[in-house]
Amino acid sequence: MKVGIRIPGAGPWAGPEAITEIAQFAEKVGFDSLWMTDHVALPTKVETPYPYTSDGKFLWAPETPYLDCLTALTWAAAATERVELGTSCLILPWRPLVQTSKTLVSIDVLSRGRLTVAIGVGWMKEQFELLGAPFKDRGRRTTEMVQAMRHMWTEDEVDFSGEFYDLHDFKMFPKPTRGSIPIWFAGYSDASLRRIASIGNGWHPLAVGPDKYAGYLSTLRDYVAEAGRDMSEITLTARPLRTAPYTAETIEAYGDQGVTHFICDTSFEHETLQQAMDELQELAEAVLPTAHRLS
């Protein structure tokens, strides 16, 4: 099993020095991947319930330093050589389609094929509104955007028509290093699981502990079979947030269900950067031996 960490692109250590040092340290001690979350502008009033806390309150204050997801990943890519890179999760439907497709393939090429894109459809209506993106039908638009991006990444000349997008008479080069870029989807609603089954390369649920993972996974297996696909085509991942401790026992519990990539959220709530790296060292010692034994 591979283990990744969230980079300090948001919060008190959001900046070039911390991302560089944490990314390089993570690669040195044996973490397999680096991940960055996605918020563009944080509204001062949020009434939409946050789906990943018991009280529905969003975790980030609006004045929190929060770097752009894809820019922060590009910086981490330049600071490292081997570690994989990913978005967790890129809120695709509030971003412009063609420009985002170009940015993603650029990161993939510049990192020599190390990028994975975990996508969410978004939950915060207020942020969609301030970005001028429609909140309605965001799930269907996300599906179509992924189909269009794959078309742009693989076809010589772009000729794509859908419900929301019509793209014609242009070319987009270079192409992804591996021919395409792996697309994982967040979520565990019925619609999300059906989307993964039909077009996903991976399932990337947030805040689902090992105890609840099996139930959603059973449903996903049924939908994958209905779609005429095989579960071997779907990478199973876990980012439990606060629903499970980062221990060898948790790693084994997910591994028993077929999870092959586990992502940890370190706090970065430290007075010094060295203390943050000490936490990463302790985390590496706690989970990496078990995870890599399961590989």
Q: For the segment 171-213, what is each residue's pLDDT rounded down to a tens digit?
A: 999 999 999 999 999 999 999 999 999 999 999 999 999 999 9
Angle CA(196)–CA(197)–CA(198) in degrees, nearest 5?
Answer: 95
At residue 270 the predicted structure's pLDDT band, cuts being 50, 70 and 90, is confident
Q: What is the pLDDT of residues 146-176, one digit of tens each?
A: 999 999 999 999 999 999 999 999 999 999 9
Question: Would you tell me how many other CB atoms lie within 10 Å of the CB of residue 8?
Answer: 27
Q: According to the model, what pLDDT value does residue 293 have?
A: 94
Arithmetic mean of pLDDT, 254-277? 92
Q: What is the pLDDT of residue 136?
A: 95
Average pLDDT across the chain, whole number: 96
Specify the pLDDT at position 60: 85
Question: What distance in Å separates the CA atoms of residue 281 and residue 164, rounded to the nearest whole number?
Answer: 46
Q: Is the pLDDT of residue 24 over 80?
A: yes
Q: How confident is the model at residue 267 (pLDDT cuts 50, 70, 90)?
A: confident
| pLDDT the model gives residue 158 | 98
Query: What global pTM score does this model have?
Result: 0.95
pLDDT band at 53 (very low <50, low <70, confident <90, very high): confident
* Mean pLDDT for the stretch of residues 132-137: 96
Annotate the chain with DSSP letters as a single string. -EEEEE-SSBSTT-SHHHHHHHHHHHHHHT--EEEE---S---S---SPPTTSTT---SS-TTS-B--HHHHHHHHHHH-SS-EEEEEEEEGGGS-HHHHHHHHHHHHHHTTS-EEEEEE----HHHHHHTT---TTHHHHHHHHHHHHHHHHH-SSEEEE-SS-EEEEE---SPPTTSS--EEE---SHHHHHHHHHH-SEE--BS--HHHHHHHHHHHHHHHHHTT--GGGSEEEEB-TTSS-SSHHHHHHHHTTT--EEEE------SSHHHHHHHHHHHHHHHHHHHHHT-
Q: Report the number of distinct structural domains present in the chain.
A: 1
- Given a cut of 90, is residue 59 above it in pLDDT? no
Distance CA 250, CA 231 (A): 22
Is the pLDDT confidence value at 47 over 80? yes
Residue 249: pLDDT band by 50, 70, 90 thresholds?
A: very high
> Which pLDDT score, from 0 to 100, does residue 266 have?
85
Mean pLDDT of the region 26-35:
98
User: What distances in angstroms separate CA 147 from CA 9, 177, 185, 186, one per listed residue?
Assistant: 29, 18, 13, 17
Residue 252 belongs to domain with CATH number: 3.20.20.30
How many percent of the chain have pLDDT more than 90? 92
Question: What was the pLDDT predicted at 178?
Answer: 97
144 is in which domain, residue-wise? 2-293
Q: What is the pLDDT of residue 175?
A: 98
